Structure formats: structure tokens, C-alpha cells
Amino acid sequence: MKGFHFLVAFALLALASTLASASDPGPLQDFCVAINDTRTGVFVNGKFCKDPKLAKPEDFFISGLNVPGDTKNQLGSKVTLINVDKIPGLNTLGISLARVDYAPYGLNPPHTHPRATEILTVVEGILYVGFVTSNPDNRFITKVLYPGDVFVFPVGLIHFQFNIGNTNAVAFSGLSSQNPGIITIGKAVFGSEPVVNPDVLVKAFQLDKNIVNQLQSRLWPLNN
């Protein structure tokens, strides 16, 4: 009888473990609308897979990260992202890479990666970085980074990097998704298409409506 109880307990434990470890796969794009007619389906959660026997070295390779990005823009920064669209072999591996170049006093503005944690290391220059925790605390966690320093931005949290030096800066980031996604806060809120009703933004940010209209007129063209 004791043996029977042991087997039942073992079976329940095994079942509980299976249920605890089961979950839907994480989304690899913003959304994936279900359809009944597969003939009209054009997207999967990720990418379709090539026959492994047909894989070649070029599927896992890219060059050019030694070339600085063009920072001649309003923000003075350039992100060069190497994701599954650039290296097909990254599909299903849950990782991507980025080079970030900063002009003197250049900014990678507040943004979030909805599908990835980011780990950043500084190669050149001095960066002032930080992220803000979720509600209700909204703690600002910040650090000044020098060459060789490493900093982590947890998944989904708003973060930034700012070159506080008078020379160029370079950093490399690893991201825990083949398609981390990026939402730049200012562009998303004030530069969406179509634009968000200004009354919503006036109420949310406690801004004068004229200021909201000015922000939308300046940021909306950046998305088009």
C-alpha cells in the first residue's frame, strides 16, 4: 500500500512539474492575429526554418560592425542592430546584438525593448545611463560608465544612454531576443500615425495643448 501511495504521489508531482513548466512561447513580434484559413497566413511567431541540410556559413555570419554608424542626426546617435533579419541563423536562438555610436553629447533617447533584456558594454567614451522601474515605485537607477564597464537594462523597462564626454563614444549591446523590438517613448507618444488625440496627451502629461501640438508636429515627420 505504501508503494501505491508513493507511485500516486510521484505521478502527481510529475504532473505538477509538467504544468508548472508549460507556457505559451514568447511573442517574437508585436502581435500575431489568429486566422482559420491557413492559405492567407503570411506570418509565424518568428521565421520559417530552412532545411538544416541546406544551411551554409553565410546564414550565421555578417561583417561590418567595425564601421562607425552615422551620428549626424538630431540625437547624435546611431544604433546598428544585428537581429534575425540580418543573420538568419539567429532564428529561435533568442539573441541579437547591436552597436551603438554616439557623437559628443549624443543621446540614445528613452526607449524600451518589449521582448528583451539588454546588456551593454562601453568600448569608447563615457556614458551616463539609467532605467526607471515599473509603477508604483518608478525608481531611477543610474550609473556613469567608462570603457570596459557593463550595465544591464531589464526587459521592458524604459532606459537611455547619454554621451557626457566631448569625444565620440561606442558601446555594444547583447539582447535576449532574436527580435527585441524598440519603442522610443517620445516618438511613440507624440509621433504616432495617426496622431494620438491631443486632449489625451494634455491630460496625461499635464501639458498645454499648444505644446502638445508643437511636439506632434515636430516628431510625427520623424516616423514618416
| DSSP per-residue string spanning 14-69 | HHHHHHHH--PPPPSSS-----S-GGG---BSB-PPPPGGG--GGGG----TTSPP
Residue 218's pLDDT band (cuts 50, 70, 90): confident
* 83 annotated as ligand-binding: no
* 108 annotated as ligand-binding: yes
Residue 138's pLDDT band (cuts 50, 70, 90): very high
* 113 annotated as ligand-binding: yes
* 224 annotated as ligand-binding: no
Q: Is the pLDDT of residue 34 over 90?
A: no
Q: Is the pLDDT of residue 11 over 70?
A: no
* 163 annotated as ligand-binding: no
Beta strands in 103-195 (DSSP E): 107-112, 118-124, 127-132, 140-145, 150-153, 158-163, 169-175, 183-184
H helix or E strand, kind and range, residue 7: helix 2-21
pLDDT of residue 10: 47
Residue of higher predicted confidence among 108 and 25: 108
pLDDT of residue 187: 93
β-strand pairing of 150-153 with 140-145? unpaired
In the chain the domains, ranked by start, together with CATH numbers, are 59-181 (2.60.120.10)
For range 10-33, the mean pLDDT: 55
For range 173-194, the mean pLDDT: 94
H helix or E strand, kind and range, residue 98: strand 96-102
Identify which of 83, 82, 125, 128 has the alpha carbon closest to the alpha carbon of residue 104. Answer: 125
pLDDT of residue 31: 67
Residue 15's pLDDT band (cuts 50, 70, 90): very low
pLDDT of residue 52: 85
H helix or E strand, kind and range, residue 198: helix 198-205
pLDDT in tens, 67-120: 999 999 999 999 999 999 999 898 888 899 999 999 999 999 999 999 999 999
What are the phi and psi torsion angles at 99 (to 5°)?
Answer: -105, 135
Q: Is the pLDDT of residue 186 over 70?
A: yes
